[in-house]
Chain A
Amino acid sequence: MGPIAYYLATLVVYFFIFAILTWGLNIQFGSAGILNFTYITFFAIGAYFTGVAMMARPTTDSNMRYILGLNWPFIPSLLLGALAAGLLGLLVGLVALRRLRSDYLAIVTVSVGAIVYDFVNVNTSAFNGGDGIAGVPYPFNDQLNLDPNTYIFFYVGLTGFVMLVLGVVAFRLYKSPLGRTLRAIREDSDVAAAFGKDTYRFRMIAMVIGCLYAGIAGGLLIGFISALNPGGWTAGETFIIWAALLVGGRGNNWGALLGAFLVPVLFVEATRFLPEIPGHPVLIAAIRNMIVGGLLIGVLWFRPEGILPERKARFPFVGSTQPRKDAQLDS
């Protein structure tokens, strides 16, 4: 069990987590056209709530302060984290989704992101402020008792399983009549409303589901790295997920998967090994983020549909009952 294998396994876990995130954003933006400019916040909320649900109640002499401390097993904690993220999504939707213009939602998301970040950072009693929480127990390892080198492969399996389930859900949603209605709202919400679709309700569904995805991804991450502080989910992270979706292909779940591999895993991880510039510790990270920002703009200019564009809907399950052709004009 070499360090290379360990490192590759880590990458696989990250890939799975980013795949979930990109699918979630695809449900919001790719399907429903919702501009969520603080997607990472929902991820963080999911992570924090999963973490504090799993951790034991903080003792008075502990140097960490946080809410809950329920000592719950992983599964219910993960669900709690997802629910918290979904609830925040619901609140944001309540404020912003009634308005038709996408700017409103974008403004509200940016503001919510700033407020939540500020709150978590400053308010030490929620999630231990700027120092963050640490020491979240490894999921299921109280029963498994595996050493870290073996446990990581268990975790690859765990995240892989969750990713598969959420992938199936994402694909089903996209192909379902629900997905079709969401796309109709994305294309022209007046038309969708004129055909009886309650556009507010449908957009809310997409908003909340996308946030649930983010929450679950967050829970999986904190189970893996067992600690999180505000430095781990800066606004910059949101852009990476956006870049992944736009590069891979918005409105295409395979594209989202490809993007999750290309941007957060291949690009961000590959640049991790660049040597640090002495005396300038953040230079590499800054350049990396500049490239991500440039990528967002460049993709929209050169290939706005992404590498794998949205595909036309097909209905292979409809068996043709009779030969068809267009009716001809009499005249």
Chain B
Amino acid sequence: MRSLTPEIILEVSSVSYAFGGVKAVDGSTFTLQRGLIGALIGPNGAGKTTLINVASGALGAQGGRISFNGLDITGWPSHRVARSGLIRTFQISRELGGMTVLENMLVPPPDQAGEQLFNAVFRPSVGRKQDRRLVELALTQLENFGLYSSRDQYARNLSGGQKRLLELARGVMGEPKLMVLDEPFAGVNPALIERLEEHIRELRQGGITFLMVEHNLNVVERICDHVVVMAEGRTLATGRMADLRRNEEVITAYLGGALTKRAQPAPAGAQPTTGGMPSERGPAVLVAESITAGYGKVPVIQDVTLQAEPGKVVAMVGPNGAGKSTMLKAVFGLLRNKSGRVLLAGEDIGAWPAFRIARNGMAYVPQVINVFTSMTVFENLEMGGYTLKKGVQARANEVLEIFPDLKTARSKKAGNLSGGQRNMLGMARALMLEPKVVLLDEPTAGLSPAYTAIVWDQIRRVAALGTAVVVVEQNVDLAVNHADWVYVLVAGRNRLDGKAREVGLVDLPSIFLGGQGPTEPELRAERKVNEGG
């Protein structure tokens, strides 16, 4: 039972934070009521993780105000925020590897008398007495979380899933009023997802408020009472997940433009990916088969298949956390523990190191660090052509012809370029060795619509040179309109693929945002209401 005027536990008002010149959080504002399970969702680069880093004191706010439990905690260092009852977990499990699971559990409890130097040296019984209580408590928690039998293992030896459980269990030991979870379900298998959901619900019953950054929107719909949608550093909308699914702004933020208008049953052309080659595709230059890969022990993608033909643009789309970027990295040999087969022009390159792949016909442009910031545009291109014996300069000038925007900035430091120009430069650098295949990781992320169009123009132009281009694209609309073939990845697996136009006719909102998705009449009705009001 909630009271009629629910109390607010967390209030974020116009908080902003910028890395260098890039505004990651830009005036985000929202509140969270005590006793709820809140979610912070939004497309990649929306600033969610940055926001919780600011809220928990890991980063100092550069503007705005954060109040927690009636206290103004803006600018407090993390340890002080934590002691006031706001405990956060980490996106990648940060177990204290050289300590046992049980010891991990004993670190968080606040105000431990045994931590005082005097007690530690002169009155060890104080610490023992306190530990007797804490160990009992910790063991009970470990039982709940199914980690009791692993209590004396070093935490580094736990499985990926167990580490996620420990992350949550350990957080509880910090006696939080509010727990901020950073992607608690990332890389977690379905059985464990259920289990974690159950734990979170139980803990809420026990009086803990939650705020989680989460990409799995079905989970969010199941357990979160209040959802805050962020895009481009701001709060876009708040409410319940079921309602937000129909919110056009939200759908646009996730998928891009006009797709919402044509939700229809899947036509025959787009089909579940089988790995077989549909007859309308030409001979492939890149074939990646049954790739399973991830970071550490958790596989992010499973059995994913992809192929690309010369002169064609292949796009990979899918909800956040679907494993699109991971697939690119795996194809380019940047992930060690992968299985599956990667063929480049018929040659198995699965075991090659990245630099060898780069020298033999494939190029990769990462999403975040894609240029050498302290070097000029021209020098960046030279680095792209590093293995050319001669003619580097000539080739660089050739490439600059393809990118008129960069031509005028050739002696500018890459660190001073705009985000869009950087993405262009990344692409230009990748072209230096005249690769057969170019992999682009979200080349339009964070760009203005106008520049996005320019970038896609460039991508088409690159393909027109006979290159096979694989693009990870957040904006489904763009992918459908500009690519030749589209793969849809969901939760680390192929969901479907087909000709771009045909994939565009599929009910993608429901794939992306979960649930049934709005139907055409519903949307029309909603628009009328909006326009009327």
Q: Do any beta carbons of A and B sit within 8 angstroms of each other in the complex?
A: yes
Q: A184 near B: Cβ within 8 Å?
A: yes
Closest B residue to A313 by CB, please name it: B103
Stretch at the interface among B32-40, B145-153, B207-215, B427-435: B145-153
- How far is B79's CA from A314's CA once the two chains are assembled, in angstroms? 27
- How far is B106's CA from A177's CA once the two chains are assembled, in angstroms? 8
Question: Is there contact, CB below 8 Å, between B90 and A191?
Answer: yes
Question: Is there contact, CB below 8 Å, between A176 and B127?
Answer: yes
- How far is B116's CA from A198's CA once the two chains are assembled, in angstroms? 12
Instruction: For B58, give its contact among A183, A188, A190, A326 (CB under 8 Å).
Output: A190
Per-position binary interface string of chain B over residues 134-154, scored 1 when its CB falls under 8 Å from any chain A CB and 0 otherwise: 011001101111111100101
Question: Is there contact, CB below 8 Å, between A315 and B120?
Answer: no
Closest B residue to A176 by CB, please name it: B120
Closest B residue to A330 by CB, please name it: B198
Question: Is there contact, CB below 8 Å, between B97 and A187?
Answer: yes
Closest A residue to B113 by CB, please name it: A177
B78: A residues at CB distance < 8 A: 190, 193-194
- How far is B129's CA from A98's CA once the two chains are assembled, in angstroms? 32
Q: A312 near B: Cβ within 8 Å?
A: yes
Q: B102 near A: Cβ within 8 Å?
A: yes
Q: A17 near B: Cβ within 8 Å?
A: no
Instruction: For A176, give its contact among B57, B90, B124, B145 (CB under 8 Å).
Output: B124
| In the A-B complex, the 5 residue pairs with the closest CB atoms | A177-B114, A176-B120, A196-B82, A187-B96, A178-B120
Q: A181 near B: Cβ within 8 Å?
A: yes
A195: B residues at CB distance < 8 A: 79, 82, 87, 107-108, 110, 174
Question: Is there contact, CB below 8 Å, between B136 and A321?
Answer: yes
Question: Is there contact, CB below 8 Å, between B119 and A315?
Answer: no
Question: Is there contact, CB below 8 Å, between B110 and A187?
Answer: no
- How far is B139's CA from A312's CA once the two chains are assembled, in angstroms? 16
B116 shortest CB reach to chain A, Å: 7
Given A172-B120, A175-B124, A327-B144, answer yes or no on A192-B107 (Cβ-Cβ < 8 Å).
Answer: yes
B103 shortest CB reach to chain A, Å: 5
B198: A residues at CB distance < 8 A: 330
A177: B residues at CB distance < 8 A: 106, 112-115, 120, 127, 130-131
Question: Is there contact, CB below 8 Å, between B103 and A180?
Answer: yes
Given A176-B127, A177-B131, A317-B128, answer yes or no on A194-B87 (Cβ-Cβ < 8 Å).
Answer: yes
Per-position binary interface string of chain B over residues 264-287, scored 1 when its CB falls under 8 Å from any chain A CB and 0 otherwise: 000000000000000000000000
Instruction: For A191, give its contact among B96, B100, B140, B144 (CB under 8 Å).
Output: B96
Given A184-B96, A187-B99, A191-B96, answer yes or no on A327-B146 (Cβ-Cβ < 8 Å).
Answer: yes
Q: A205 near B: Cβ within 8 Å?
A: yes
Per-position binary interface string of chain A over residues 154-197, scored 1 when its CB falls under 8 Å from any chain B CB and 0 otherwise: 00000000000000010011011111110110111011111111
Given A169-B121, A177-B114, A195-B174, answer yes or no on A317-B58 (Cβ-Cβ < 8 Å).
Answer: no
A99 shortest CB reach to chain B, Å: 14
- How far is B305's CA from A311's CA once the two chains are assembled, in angstroms? 46
Q: B117 near A: Cβ within 8 Å?
A: yes
- Tell me the number of A-to-B contacts counted with CB atoms below 8 Å: 145
Instruction: For B56, give its contact among A178, A194, A315, A326 (CB under 8 Å).
Output: A194
Q: A318 near B: Cβ within 8 Å?
A: yes
Q: A237 near B: Cβ within 8 Å?
A: no
Question: Is there contact, CB below 8 Å, between A179 and B98?
Answer: no
- How far is B145's CA from A313's CA once the two chains are assembled, in angstroms? 21
A191: B residues at CB distance < 8 A: 90, 94, 96, 107
- How far is B98's CA from A251's CA once the two chains are assembled, in angstroms? 11
Question: Is there contact, CB below 8 Å, between A193 and B82?
Answer: yes
Question: Is there contact, CB below 8 Å, between B117 and A205?
Answer: yes
Per-position binary interface string of chain A over residues 255-284, scored 1 when its CB falls under 8 Å from any chain B CB and 0 otherwise: 000000000000000000000000000000
Q: B132 near A: Cβ within 8 Å?
A: yes
Q: A324 near B: Cβ within 8 Å?
A: yes
Q: A325 near B: Cβ within 8 Å?
A: yes
- How far is B94's CA from A316's CA once the two chains are assembled, in angstroms? 27
Closest B residue to A191 by CB, please name it: B94
A313: B residues at CB distance < 8 A: 99-100, 102-103
Question: Is there contact, CB below 8 Å, between A194 and B58?
Answer: yes
Q: B195 near A: Cβ within 8 Å?
A: yes
B112: A residues at CB distance < 8 A: 177, 181
Q: A199 near B: Cβ within 8 Å?
A: yes
- Restricting to A189-239, which residues have a CB under 8 Å from any CB of B? 190-199, 205, 209
Question: Is there contact, CB below 8 Å, between A324 and B79?
Answer: no
Instruction: For B79, give its contact among A199, A209, A310 (CB under 8 Å).
Output: A199
Q: B160 near A: Cβ within 8 Å?
A: no
Q: A60 near B: Cβ within 8 Å?
A: no
A62: B residues at CB distance < 8 A: none
A328: B residues at CB distance < 8 A: 146
Per-position binary interface string of chain B over residues 188-200, scored 1 when its CB falls under 8 Å from any chain A CB and 0 otherwise: 0001001100100
Closest A residue to B144 by CB, please name it: A327
B191: A residues at CB distance < 8 A: 329, 331
A79 shortest CB reach to chain B, Å: 16
A318: B residues at CB distance < 8 A: 131-132, 135-136
A164 shortest CB reach to chain B, Å: 14
B106: A residues at CB distance < 8 A: 177, 180
Closest A residue to B155 by CB, please name it: A187
The residue among A180, A194, A251, A313 with the most chain B CB atoms within 10 A of its own CB is A194
A245 shortest CB reach to chain B, Å: 16
